Amino acid sequence: MNPRPRFLLALVLLASLIPMAAQQPPNWTDQEKPIADQIKGLRALPDDGRAQTTKQLALQIRELPATPGKLDLAVRLASRATEGDFGHDTLQEVATTLAQALQQQPPSAKDGQPNPAYGELAQLVRYEHVQVSLDAPQFQQALDQLASADKHRQDANFTLTDLQGKSWSLKSLRGEVVLVNFWATWCPPCQKEMPDLEALYKRFRNQRFVILSISDEEADKVRPFIAERRITFPVLLDPGSKVHKAFEVEGIPKSFVYDRDGKLVSQSIDMRTQKQFLEMLAQAGLK
């Protein structure tokens, strides 16, 4: 099993910055340490307060001197800013801050691959529709890689078995609106969005809508978790993470919506609220 929650992906991103910071954990300056502490506590805030705090932190990071710690903080904030619906303006400030930090302290590529910090920014631009000005080959490479991954996801197919032993195949569900959701029991953002997914399933399941919720954990861990929360949509097991790899899922939760023709019409890079899921489903004609 190869767990990949979004908060662990953030650790991967930060590990890529260690050569610049030269130590772990980061040696924060007096200006940086309070910001790092606030980022660490973001998940404890109510959503309205979290949106305001996230925007304020983005602006504070932008005013910091150009140091490796600044880029580190910008990456950390970006990895938290998509865990829900905190508003486009908030995401724009976060993206602008990360782009500025990358421009001031451009990290090196490794083995021909863009530094993950560029990938974090590319995801914000491609999937959250923010605008940044950054003329950097690694950034363009990261955008190109996302476009390639989406083409693979459009053509992807899988056959997996759910907790009741029923087999599900993505391509066999033409004529249905399908939401494919990758998650894990130990992922807090996954847990937070699950009740909204259940509500949507109950609302639309009689309108040819199906959720395929995929975990790469063992059945003995998934089954009691699902039973306790009274989840009724299909929960599929992905032993060996084969489907995770086919969809190039490196952080969860992550969701993909296919319309009745099997076209990938929308996706999320993180946790979504019910309102955000409704916006995704509307692109598949489900309202």
pLDDT at 233 over 70: yes
pLDDT at 2 over 60: no
What b/e sequence results for 8-18 when a residue is b if at least 16 CB atoms lie within 10 Å of its CB, and e otherwise?
Answer: ebbeebbebbe
Name the nearest CA neighbour of 238 among 212, 217, 210, 211. Answer: 217
- C-alpha to C-alpha distance for 258 and 256, rounded to whole angstroms: 7
pLDDT at 17 over 90: no
Residues forming a β-bridge with 159: 169
Q: Please, which pLDDT band fits residue 64 given cuts at 50, 70 and 90?
A: very high
Q: State the pTM of this model.
A: 0.85
- For the stretch 239-278, pLDDT in tens is 999 999 999 998 999 999 999 999 999 999 999 999 999 9
- C-alpha to C-alpha distance for 47 and 49, rounded to whole angstroms: 5
- C-alpha to C-alpha distance for 236 and 233, rounded to whole angstroms: 10
pLDDT at 207 over 80: yes
